[in-house]
C-alpha cells in the first residue's frame, strides 16, 4: 500500500538537487544526498535518482515563496503550481527550479501525491510592524511586504531550544537572520525577496533603492540587467572581484578578499544587533549554514563586534530542512 512506502523530500535549486528519503512511520532517514547539476540537466538527474532509490509513496518539496496564500503543507496540482508561478519575480534563483522539479516528478510518478512546504510559512503571523514597507496603501494591498525566507531552517533550529530570546544566523551562500521570541518569528532580515538583508555569495543584500533607479534611469540598464547584477554579480563576488565562495576568499591573500569578509562580518553584526532590538536582547545566538557552522574565524569576528552586549549563549548547530519538511508533511496529511 502507498501509505507503507517512504517519503521522498526534494530541495531543488538552480545548481543542485538535495534529496532525503524517510521511512514514513518513524521518519528514520533511509537515503539522502546532494546532486550538483545545471538547470537543463535536472530532469535527467531526477530520473536517475528515481531509478536507484526505493519507490516513494509520498513526495514533498521545499518551495521558497508561498506568499500570504500558502501558509501550510499543501497538496500540489497544476492549478496551484500556476498560482505559485506568480512569486517567481520575488525568488528568481529558487522558485522556477522548485516548480520545475514538481512538474518533472508529476511526469515520472504521476500517481504519487506531491506536497509543498514553504520557506515563507514560518514567518506568517508576524506583527505588521515588522512586515510592512513604508509605501502607499494601494501598493501594500498588492502583497508588497516583508515575507522572510529560510523558514524551514529556522523552524528546525527553533525546535531544539527553549530560549525565550533566540537569534538564528543562517549563513551560507544565501544568508539571513531571524529573531524569535518563545519560538515564534518576530523579525527577519530578508523581505519581499530573498535578495534583501545581509550580503551573500552573489546577492547584494541591503542597498539604497535609489541605486536601482539610478542604474535604470541614468546608466540605462534594463531590468533584466539589474536583476542579473544584484542576484548573480554582487555580494561577496562583487565586493571582492574574486569569488562569491567564502572558502576561496578566506584562503586568498588578496586585500580585496579580506575587505569583502570584513564587510560581511560588520553587516552581520549590525543586523544581529538590530534583531536584538526587535526581541529586547539576546539569550542565545545560533550559527547554522555552511559558513555559520564551518568558519570559526568568521563566527569569532562577528562575536567580537557584539562583545558590548550582556553575555549570551552561542551555539553552532547544523540545520535539517529536509527532516523539517518530513515532519511537517507527516503531521499535515492523513495517511491512516
CATH at 53: 3.30.420.40
Short-list 324, 317, 319, 335, CA closest to 22: 324
Assigned domain for 142 exists:
no
Interhelix angle 42-52/95-108, nearest 10 degrees = 50
Residue at 225 is within a domain: yes
Q: How confident is the model at residue 41 (pLDDT cuts 50, 70, 90)?
A: confident
* 3 state SS of 170: strand
Q: Is 206 inside a domain boundary?
A: yes
Q: What is the mean pLDDT of residues 203-231?
A: 98
Region 214-240: mean pLDDT is 98
Separation of alpha carbons 329 and 311, rounded Å? 38
180 grid coordinates:
524569535
119 catalytically annotated: yes
Q: Is position 49 within any domain?
A: yes
The pLDDT assigned to 311 comes to 97
pLDDT of 325 higher than 70: yes
Q: Which of 31, 119, 182, 196 is catalytic?
A: 119
pTM of the model: 0.95
Co-location of 227 and 168 in the same domain: yes
Percent of the chain with pLDDT over 70: 98
**Residue 95: what are its φ and ψ, rounded to 5°?**
-55, -50
Q: Does residue 202 sit within a domain? A: yes
Banded pLDDT at 3 (limits 50, 70, 90): low
Assess whether pLDDT exceeds 90 at residue 256.
Answer: yes
Domains: count for the chain? 2
- Whether the per-residue pLDDT at 336 is higher than 80: the answer is no
Same domain, residue pair 288 and 170: yes
Please report, rounded to a whole number, the percentage of residues in the chain having pLDDT higher than 90.
93
Whether 104 is covered by a domain: the verdict is: yes
Residue 323 in any domain: the answer is: no
Do 174 and 304 fall within a single domain? yes
Domain presence at residue 288: yes
- Average pLDDT over the chain reads 95
- Specify burial of residue 168 (Cβ count, 10 A radius: 0-12, 13-18, 19+): buried
Domain that holds residue 88: 2-124
Nearest to 247 by CA among 261, 235, 227: 261
Question: What band does 5 get if pLDDT is binned at 50, 70 and 90?
Answer: confident
Amino acid at each position: 500500500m502507498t501509505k507503507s512506502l517512504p517519503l521522498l523530500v526534494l530541495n531543488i535549486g538552480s545548481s543542485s538537487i538535495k534529496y532525503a528519503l524517510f521511512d514514513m512511520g518513524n521518519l528514520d532517514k533511509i537515503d539522502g544526498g546532494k546532486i550538483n547539476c545545471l538547470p537543463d540537466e535536472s530532469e535527467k538527474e531526477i530520473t536517475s535518482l528515481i531509478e536507484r532509490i526505493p519507490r516513494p509513496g509520498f513526495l514533498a518539496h521545499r518551495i521558497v515563496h508561498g506568499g500570504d496564500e500558502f501558509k501550510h503543507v499543501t497538496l500540489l496540482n497544476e492549478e496551484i503550481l500556476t498560482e505559485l508561478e506568480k512569486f517567481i519575480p520575488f525568488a528568481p534563483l529558487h522558485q522556477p527550479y522548485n516548480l520545475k522539479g514538481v512538474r518533472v516528478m508529476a511526469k515520472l510518478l504521476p500517481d504519487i501525491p506531491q506536497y509543498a512546504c514553504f520557506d515563507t510559512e514560518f514567518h506568517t503571523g508576524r506583527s505588521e510592524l515588522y512586515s510592512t514597507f513604508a509605501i502607499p496603501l494601494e501598493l501594500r494591498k498588492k502583497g508588497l511586504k516583508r515575507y522572510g525566507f529560510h523558514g524551514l531552517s529556522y523552524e528546525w533550529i527553533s525546535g531544539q531550544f527553549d530560549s525565550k530570546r533566540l537569534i538564528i544566523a543562517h549563513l551560507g551562500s544565501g544568508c539571513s537572520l531571524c529573531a524569535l521570541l518563545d519560538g515564534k518569528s518576530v523579525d527577519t532580515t530578508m523581505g519581499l525577496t530573498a535578495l534583501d538583508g545581509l550580503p551573500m555569495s552573489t546577492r547584494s543584500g541591503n542597498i539604497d533603492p535609489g541605486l536601482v533607479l539610478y542604474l535604470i534611469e541614468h546608466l540605462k540598464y534594463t531590468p533584466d540587467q539589474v536583476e542579473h547584477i544584484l542576484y548573480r554579480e554582487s555580494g561577496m563576488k562583487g565586493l571582492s572581484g574574486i569569488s562569491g565562495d567564502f572558502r576561496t576568499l578566506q584562503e586568498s591573500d588578496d586585500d580585496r578578499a579580506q575587505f569583502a569578509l570584513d564587510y560581511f562580518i560588520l553587516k552581520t553584526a549590525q543586523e544581529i544587533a538590530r534583531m536584538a532590538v526587535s526581541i529586547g536582547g539576546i539569550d542565545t545566538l545560533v550559527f547554522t549554514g555552511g559558513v555559520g557552522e564551518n568558519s570559526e574565524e568568521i563566527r569569532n569576528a562577528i562575536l567580537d563586534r557584539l562583545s558590548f552586549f550582556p553575555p549570551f549563549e552561542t551555539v553552532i548547530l547544523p540545520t535539517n530542512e529536509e527532516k523539517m519538511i518530513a515532519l511537517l508533511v507527516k503531521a499535515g496529511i492523513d495517511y491512516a
